[in-house]
Amino acid sequence: MRSLSRLYKPFRHLPRRVFATVLALAVVLSGIPLPAHASSRIKDIADFEGVRANMLVGYGLVVGLTNTGDQIQQNAPFTQQSLVGMLERLGVNTRDATGAIPTTFNPKNVAAVMVTAELPAFAKQGTRIDVSVAALGDAKNLTGGQLLVTPLLGADGEVYAVAQGPLANVGVVAQGQGASVQKGVPTAGKISSGAIVEREIPFEMSHLQTAKLTLRNPDFTTARRVAQAVNAFLGSEVAHPIDPASVQMVVPTQYVGNVVGLLTDIEQLKVDPDSVAKVVIDEASGTIVMGENVRISTVAIAQGQLTIRITETPQVSQPSPFSSTGSTAVVNRTDIQVDEGQQNKLAIMDHGVTLQELVNNLNALGIGPRDMIPILEAIKAAGALQAEIQVM
């Protein structure tokens, strides 16, 4: 440090900002490593209990389709019943003298749909939210459709919003005699700001005496670090972890009646989240995701597969031109190739190799992601993989 102070002494007559810039540039050029920051804000790794969204669902009708709606009499009797009930509530009688629905009542521009939405936390009455619409019957296309008034229910069966409006973001289908083109999903769409909130979910925060933080990835170490960060910021022991997923916090005296201000200050605190060593495998797509804490004990790995490739190339044998004898015949030609994986080698991995070293060694053996899956499972079975394997 003395040598550095002598080095920077000629620049001390410069203004403070210029001197700071020169100092930072000198540190970078000198090869002195700068501290790495991998911290995350509490708001990015945890949720506040009670501050959550709620799911809404409803059943409705989409009208105005161009003969692409449900086949009412064949496959969608519920669409017919809904349409008849809606018309009767509007004063339109669709039944005959006997009270039955005539067979000629078969509109093709109506489709039964399910409407879903997410009610945000603290949504006030009269605010608008987005809704998603998806066909319930055998409708082929919802393009150009108009959703009629649809109540949206919560888990308690109460109506919290009402949706209505023209559908947007619907897929496109073009079909001819010999080919067809489809882009997106034509039987689903969205209505931006298509629902109006009719009922609020009561939740009062200003009079809370305690608040709870819920970690999105439960972990003992992370929960303790969050509590320590909160206590260090407030200057008192008001927060403590109660389990790997929750941190209980008592509202300090200076924040009584101002819980919103407390949570605003708390969510900006930086914490280094910890994670377990885990390997996640998706066998369907061949995807492998490994955390940085994955370690391998000393183990030898060899991977070889017996591959037999059979190729049939039949040839036609026919007599010479103007020949009166012989006949045309098909002669089979079969080519068989056997690959015993002789180019693959045995690799030895020392104790405590890192994730990067593991990937480099497996790639050096010519092993692809899908072939790595049984290798990692075999290493785990041998007790050499110091991590948890999760197969999706």
Residue 227 token pair = 């509590």
Check residues 241 and 76 and name the one with the higher pLDDT: 241
Backbone φ and ψ for 198, nearest 5 degrees, come out as -105, -20
Sign of torsion, CA 76 82 85 87? negative
d(C-alpha 296, C-alpha 380), whole Å: 9
d(CA 177, CA 101): 36
Strand partners, 162: 151, 196
Q: What per-residue confidence (pLDDT) applies to 173? A: 74
Q: For residue 137, what pLDDT is reported?
A: 87
Give the mean pLDDT of 200-222.
88
pLDDT tens-digit map of 319-338: 777 666 767 777 767 665 65
Annotate the chain with three-state secondary structure. Answer: CHHHHHHHHHHCCCCHHHHHHHHHHHHHHCCCCCCCCCCEEHHHHEEECCCCCEEEEEEEEEECCCCCCCCCCCCCHHHHHHHHHHHHHCCCCCCCCCCCCCCCCCCCCEEEEEEEEEECCCCCCCCEEEEEEEECCCCCCCCCCEEEEEEEECCCCCEEEEEEEECECCCEEEECCCCEEEECCCCEEEEEEEEEECCCCCCCCCCCCEEEEEECCCCHHHHHHHHHHHHHHHCCCCEEEEECCEEEEECCHHHCCCHHHHHHHHCCCEECCCCCCEEEEECCCCEEEECCCCEECCEEEECCCCEEEEEECCEEECCCCCCCCCCCEEECCEEEEEECCCCCCEEEECCCECHHHHHHHHHHCCCCHHHHHHHHHHHHHCCCEECEEEEC
CA distances from 242 to 36, 41, 44, 335, 360 (A): 30, 20, 20, 68, 41
pLDDT band at 23 (very low <50, low <70, confident <90, very high): very low
Residue 51 pLDDT exceeds 50: yes
What pLDDT is recorded for position 184?
82
Residue 289: half-sphere exposure toward Cβ, Cα within 13 Å: 6
pLDDT, tens digit (0-9, with 9 covering 90-100), for 154-203: 999 999 999 999 998 777 777 777 777 877 888 999 999 999 999 988 88
Question: CB of 365 within 8 A of CB of 301?
Answer: yes
- Interval 96-133: pLDDT, tens: 878 787 777 878 899 999 999 999 988 999 999 999 99
Residue 386: predicted pLDDT: 77
Q: What integer pLDDT is reported at residue 195 of this predicted model?
A: 96
- SS3 sequence of 226-244: HHHHHHHHHCCCCEEEEEC
Is residue 288 within 8 Å of residue 373, measured between CB atoms? yes
Give first-to-last CA distance, the chain, whole Å: 53
Q: Mean pLDDT, the chain, as a whole number?
A: 79
